[in-house]
Amino acid sequence: MGERLHGLGERLPRREAREKIAGRAQYLDDIVRPGMLHAAYLLSTIPHGRIVSCDATEAAAMPGVHAVLTGDDFPRLGGGAISDMPCLARGKVRYVGEPVAVAAAEDLATAQAAVRAMKIGYEELPAVLTIEEALADGAPQLHDDLDAYEKSSLIEYGGNVVSYQEMVEGDVDSAWDECDVVLESEFTTHSQYHQAIEPTGAIAEFDSAGKVTVWSTTQSVFRVQAEVSALLDIPMSQIRAIAPRIGGTFGGKGGAHLQPVAVELARRTGRPVKIVLSRSEDMMMMIRRHPARIRIKTGAMNDGALVAREAEVLLEGGAYCSESPAVLGAALLKARGPYNIPNVRVFGRAVYTNKSRAGGFRGFGNPQITFATESQVDEIAARLGIDPFEIRIRNAMHVGDKWLGGQTIEACGMTECIERVRDAARRRPRPVASVPGKRRGLGVACLAHVCGFLSTSAAVRLLEDGTVTVATGAVDSGQGADTALAQICAAALDVPVDRVNYVNPDTDASPYNWSTSGSRVTYMTGRAVAGAAERVKEQIFEHAADMMECAREDLELRPGGRVGIAGVPEKELPFIAISKRAHWAVGGPIMGHFSLMYDGERFDPKRALIRGFPFSNLGTYVFGAQAVEVEVDEVTGQISVVQAWSAHDVGRAINPLAVEGQIQGAFAQGIGYALTEEMVWDEATLINPTLMDYKVPTAFDVPYPIDPIVVEDPEPSGPFGAKGIGEPGIVGVAPAIANAVADATGIRLRDLPMTSERMLHALIGRETKGDGV
Amino acid sequence: MSGKRLVVLSINGRDVEVPARPTDTLLDTLREGLGLTGAKRGCNQGLCGACSVLLDGRTFRSCLSLTLNCTDRAILTVEGLANGNELDPVQEAFVASGAIQCGYCMPGMVLAARALLDENPHPEVDAIREAIGGNLCRCSGYTKIVEAIRMMGHS
């Protein structure tokens, strides 16, 4: 071949871009079904208590109200690695904002009036609101029946601890004495809200044969199908889950949550039922990023070699398990960073608290741990008088090195990423203050993330006219997976992308995919698409060999949907001739299926001591380096990011336009995480559940442009060498900013977010104390 | 709840008659009364910009205004921006520059861009940021959106 394949590396706009920009794309809340009812929730007003009475008489009797349900109507528990969560509170409430009851009515206002008319009696219990309170001796227990819950056998839990995990390599205790410098600090991070512009919602409708269709804002139609089935005891064959266009997820639309409630309401009323959360309900009920308290200790030699690392991570997980064990494990696994540190001990706990659930959010534990580790690497560099880029290059991993736990790195553009952001940043003159009272600084952070995990599948069919249809179960959350997967299919068959149809995920028709999570769709589902297309190609070749009376080995794929005899340019057949033959004469229609489970190297128990991890492999590693120039206003404390460079080794950019969009969007979300976005509680109550008080970056708050630097070091297991880039771009932003602030002011901020208030206090503290904080 | 009455709105160049309650916002009427679902309900508090429409050529939050107050105004929704299948040039620029990801903010965003370009055909970066400063996008980091609008100014 030699020339570029169709689709591969093409800067294509999203397939559905035109319908979206025309306002014609159909999202969940745009769907109206005949006779559809609207549902509203009643939320708990206390953080912890027993439900002693519940009077729905008045609500149920209101005109227009069709059903009122409470926890008693949902006997089963679901959730994460520990099945601890009811659809509506049962017996107890465990956070302010927990759904207690739901009503379905002719219109939303009536449903809201109905739940407001309900009378719930609580017997309040003492609440645990922080990590410290959760772990205190004699702390109130959130889950009295923790031992009885169904759970993964891999979890180590107890009391308010959802998960304890530990991994040890080398001998960290004896390593400290040999180090020339040892630093130890505590870092804290806060809770960030996903804030997809589209709020969460679901619609359910039964047909006359008892089968239910569920439309919802989701990252996985197959999780919806499975969880609705398990929670409501409906066979999966009677549940059809569909994803309309999705208005952003970032991890926040993972598991089923509203869906079972919508289904049960539809079952009881015999009418289609829609639930769409208000922005405030979405902030109070749905998941958020885990706050963390992280102690990091790192030892290095005078030449900058990092030799020992200890990390203790405590995560505040909220009232239910959700994804806390996996987030903790993922964070611990990144605690060594993309560096060859021989002696490592990482351990931590995720705990229950009487707050809304913490769960998966772009980065999945990595932004928290990397804020701590990459801040500390900079402090070590400063202590040793080594350039911050240089210390990272000296310690960076290369192909053949082992990740913490023993996984071999097969492809690694780490060093190139550092060099590229360094060179881009240094093309500008050394930052100087633009005006008196402002200070500028440059900061860098490295990161590695994973893509992979669990299973997926794809089906590729050759249509009668030689064009192609590809079906997968991968929901496109807006990141461009549909387009990238169509491009992979086009490349595998070397046909133009506009001749490839992509089927929207629908459990009735699509092959299984676990979820659009973990930066995995391009890498995992892309492998399935490439595999299925390969099987189509094999069948095309069988027909062609037969039709042209030649050996299969002599055949080659030619661009544009043709197959020919190598070395004989005039001997070839278009796909249409082959597909017509298959449909009408010989063999039957051509289709290829491919299934896979993430098959990367597992933890090596001979290399590392491992306790309590909820997984034994996670994915293929993706590397990156990010740099920022900041300006700190010494009068107001405001930190502004004025320049941003973000280099990522994506293996192979299937669609560079989409890759850049992921890098830029993640960077902006990282700026929000680092500087302004914070869910704030007054005791147990979230006091800023509106976009007025929760500050998401606007076009003014991020630099223009955010410079995406795409590094391509092909991953052998990836489709055409590709790896995932959904999450990595958020991971290093906060530490890069913290390092730039330290460069500008000499002040080391160890607590997120780095608000103006915090910066100002630190600046004032420096003046009065004469040193950093 | 009741008390609907017929009002006449000028939407996308046409007068339409629609029943509306005194409490209905323009967003309610567009989405539920007229099936014009291009304007999105992102926060319903006038903070995210996803519900933006143009009112007499200016960007306007349809979730904040009562329908009955909009009767004498020229309302342009995203549905009125394209001419059949022919997109407005600014919509084409958004497509070509890769600015569109999940798309939920896009109807409001592209109308804000249109209003800016009508007033200032060659905006610089800061003017663009100001014009779209009230429209939140969670996917893009804004770079490609600003590029799309600049592309229009330079074409």
The pLDDT assigned to A430 comes to: 83
The residue with tokens 């659009």 is A516
Q: Which residue from B31, B45, B100 is facing A17, i.e. has the nearest CB? A: B100
The tens digit of pLDDT for each residue in A603-659 reads 999 999 999 999 999 999 999 999 999 999 999 999 999 999 999 999 999 999 999
pLDDT of residue A435: 87
Residues 6+ apart with CB under 8 A from A571: A548, A550, A564, A565
Q: Give the closest of B96, B98, B107 to A23, CB-based.
A: B107
| Alpha-carbon gap, residue A733 to A446, rounded angstroms | 9
- b/e code A731-765 from CB counts within 10 Å (16+ = b): bbbbbbbbbbbbbbbebbbbbbbbbbebbbebbee
CA distances from A130 to A96, A352, A511, B119 (A): 14, 9, 42, 52
Contact A660 B82 (CB under 8 A): no
Residue A129 has pLDDT above 60, yes or no: yes
- For residues A134-140, give the mean pLDDT: 97
Shortest Cα distance, chain A CAs vs residue B72, angstroms? 24
Interchain CB contacts (distance < 8 Å): A and B: 183
Judge whether residue A569 has pLDDT over 90: yes
Scanning B71-100 for CB atoms below 8 A from A yields 77-79, 81-82, 87, 91, 94-96, 98, 100
HSE toward the beta carbon, residue A703, CA cutoff 13 A: 22
The amino acid at A136: A
Sequence-ordered list of residues with C-beta below 8 angstroms from that of A414, at least 6 positions apart, any chain: A338, A396, A397, A398, A446, A448, A623, A625, A649
In this prediction, residue B1 has a pLDDT band, given cuts at 50, 70 and 90, of very low
Is the Cβ pair B106, A29 closer than 8 Å?
Answer: no
Whether residue A773 has pLDDT greater than 50: no
Q: What is the mean pLDDT of residues A196-224?
A: 98
CB-nearest to A667 from B37, B138, B141 is B141
Residue A265 vs residue B2, higher pLDDT: A265
Tell me the pLDDT of chain B averaged across its residues. Answer: 96
Q: At residue B2, does pLDDT exceed 70? A: no
Rg, C-alpha atoms of chain A:
27
CB A261 within 8 A of CB A100: no
AA identity, residue A303: D
Q: Cβ A30–B37 below 8 Å, yes or no?
A: yes
Indicate the average pLDDT of chain A: 96
pLDDT of A76 > 80? The answer is yes
Q: Decide if pLDDT at A512 tops 90.
A: yes
Q: What is the mean pLDDT of residues A270-295?
A: 98
B chain contacts of residue A700, beta-carbon cutoff 8 Å: 129-130, 133
Judged by CB atoms closer than 8 Å, whether chains meet at A250 and B138 is answered as yes
- Measure A727 CA to nearest chain B CA, in Å: 12
Q: Which position has the token pair 């800023």?
A: A688
CA nearest to B100 within chain A: A17
Q: Chain A: nearest CA to B59, how far in angstroms?
A: 16
**pLDDT tens per residue across span B109-153:** 999 999 999 999 999 999 999 999 999 999 999 999 999 999 998
Residue A772 pLDDT exceeds 60 = no
Q: Is A207 or A255 the better-scoring residue by pLDDT?
A: A207
Condensed to tens digits (0 to 9), the pLDDT of residues A659-670 reads 999 999 999 999
Query: Which chain B residues contact residue A706 at CB under 8 A?
Result: 141, 143
Contact B146 A664 (CB under 8 A): no
Q: Residue A289 corresponds to which tokens in the numbers above?
A: 């990023």
Of B87, B125, B138, the CB nearest to A21: B87
A73-91 as b/e: b if 16+ CB within 10 A: bbeebbbbbbbbbbbbbbe
List pLDDT tens digits, range A582-602: 999 999 999 999 999 999 999
Count Cβ atoms below 10 Å from residue A538 Cβ, excluding itself. Answer: 12
Residue A418 has pLDDT above 70, yes or no: yes
Confidence of residue A80 (pLDDT cuts 50, 70, 90): confident
Which chain A residues in 653-682 lie under 8 Å from chain B, judged by CB atoms?
657-658, 660-661, 664-669
- Smallest CA–CA distance, residue A709 to chain B, in Å, is 14
The two tokens of residue A669 are 């979300």
Q: What is the pLDDT of residue A434?
A: 77
Question: Cβ–Cβ of B144/A660 closer than 8 Å?
Answer: yes
Rg (CA), chain B: 15
Residues A711 and A644 sit within 8 Å (Cβ to Cβ): no
Quote the strand ranges of A523-561, DSSP E.
555-558
- Measure the CA–CA gap between A53 and A123, rounded to whole angstroms: 9
Rounded Cα distance, A647 and A375, in Å: 18
Judged by phi (left if over 0) then psi (alpha if -120 to 50, else beta), residue A322 lies in left
Question: Does B1 touch chain A if contact means CB atoms closer than 8 Å?
Answer: yes
